[in-house]
Amino acid sequence: MNLKGKVAIVTGGNSGIGLAIVLELARQGANIAIDYVANPDATEALEKQVSALGDLVIGVEADVSKVADLQRLVTATVQAFGRVDVMVNNAGVETRTSVLDTSEAQYDKVLAINLKSAFFGTQLAAQQMIKQGGGGRIINISSVHEDWPMPGNTAYCLSKGGMRMLTRTAGVELAPHGILVVGVGPGAVATPINTSTMNDPALLQKLDAAIPLGRMARPEEIASLVAFLASDGASYMTATTIFADGGIMHCSPGL
Ligand code: BGC
């Protein structure tokens, strides 16, 4: 699983699953570009970790929910490394609000950060990949909730359902260019997005009990799948989602 010399952009790369993806791709030899909005310190610390692995890294100030900022991220990557081989659309947020109580501002924020950024991240990366030739990989970090309701987190589910169809449609459209588009659907992962659950022992126990493997995933367990999907070994996968969910989507009490 060697990514030596490949160039990868990872949106939302300085925390949670994104951070683990950055480190795993770097371990496999990729040079990395990450965006940051509010957390330059975390980004600098991560840049040092990537450099220590012997790879090149840039951090670009960019709000990936804005197309102009995404364009700046792609342009800066090409300026620094000459190309883009792998685009990981990972940035994501959730509000844990229901259809009855989600405000317009919450809806717009979730859809812009999760879905709009993945759509235009796919578009801009694909345009660059076509320009440079040789195909590429686009990996959309979705969720089990692209296909499975999470009551009380409606806008999030909508955004992930949109990513599901982005992966499928863009995968078909971009296949003639050798650009493979694959979704990754994690279940519950021990990252900041799940802090409220992890800090509540009763809730955490309930969640663990709903997972056939009996525990949340470590971010590294998602990152290893992403590294595989970016590698030569995944050359025949496109327009589909791979789930790494400990079996949660198929959990049945057997009653
Ligand atoms: C959500 C978490 C949830 C998990 C499992 C993730 O996509 O971000 O809030 O716990 O799915 O349902």
SS (H, E, C) 234-250: HCCCCCEEEEECCCHHH
Residue 163 lies in a domain: yes
Residue 18 lies in a domain: yes
Contact between 91 and 47 under an 8 Å Cβ cutoff? The reply is no
Nearest residue (by CA) to ligand 1, atom 8, is: 193
Nearest atom in ligand 1 to the alpha carbon of residue 194 is: 9
Give pLDDT tens digits for 132-188. Answer: 999 999 999 999 999 999 999 999 999 999 999 999 999 999 999 999 999 999 999
Residue 253 lies in a domain: no
81 CA distance to ligand 1 centroid (A)?
35
Look up residue 115 and give its two tokens: 């879905």
Return the best residue to mutate from 114, 160, 194, 203 for the ligand 1 pocket (most ligand atoms within 8 A of CB): 194
65 CA distance to ligand 1 centroid (A)?
21
- State the pLDDT at residue 102: 98
Query: Is 156 an active-site residue?
Result: yes
Which residue of the set 36, 107, 156, 236 is catalytic? 156
Look up residue 145 and give its two tokens: 């909730």
Contact between 167 and 140 under an 8 Å Cβ cutoff? The reply is yes
Q: Per DSSP, what are the bridge partners of residue 183?
A: 140, 241
Residues whose beta carbon lies within 6 Å of some atom of ligand 1? 94, 143-145, 150, 187-188, 193-194, 197
Q: Compute the mean pLDDT over every residue in the chain, rounded to the nearest whole number.
A: 97
pLDDT of 127 above 80: yes
- 252 band by pLDDT with thresholds 50, 70 and 90: confident
Give the up-direction half-sphere exposure of residue 9: CA atoms within 13 A in the CB hemisphere: 38
Residue 116 lies in a domain: yes
pLDDT of 1 above 80: no
pLDDT of 228 above 70: yes
Give pLDDT tens digits for 30-43. Answer: 999 999 997 889 89
pLDDT of 253 above 80: no
Nearest residue (by CA) to ligand 1, atom 9, is: 194
Residue 1 lies in a domain: no
Rounded to whole angstroms, how far apart are CA atoms 3 and 69?
A: 26
Return the best residue to mutate from 15, 17, 145 for the ligand 1 pocket (most ligand atoms within 8 A of CB): 145
Nearest atom in ligand 1 to the alpha carbon of residue 96 is: 9
169: domain CATH number is 3.40.50.720
Residue 254 lies in a domain: no
pLDDT of 54 above 70: yes
Domains in the chain, number: 1
Share of the chain above pLDDT 70, in %: 100
pLDDT of 226 above 70: yes
Could you list the residue range(s) of the whole structural domain that residue 34 is in? Answer: 7-243
Contact between 175 and 143 under an 8 Å Cβ cutoff? The reply is no
Look up residue 76 and give its two tokens: 């800066």
Residue 172 lies in a domain: yes
Nearest residue (by CA) to ligand 1, atom 1, is: 188
161 CA distance to ligand 1 centroid (A)?
14
**Crossing angle (nearest 10°) for helices 16-27 and 40-52:** 20
Residue 255 lies in a domain: no
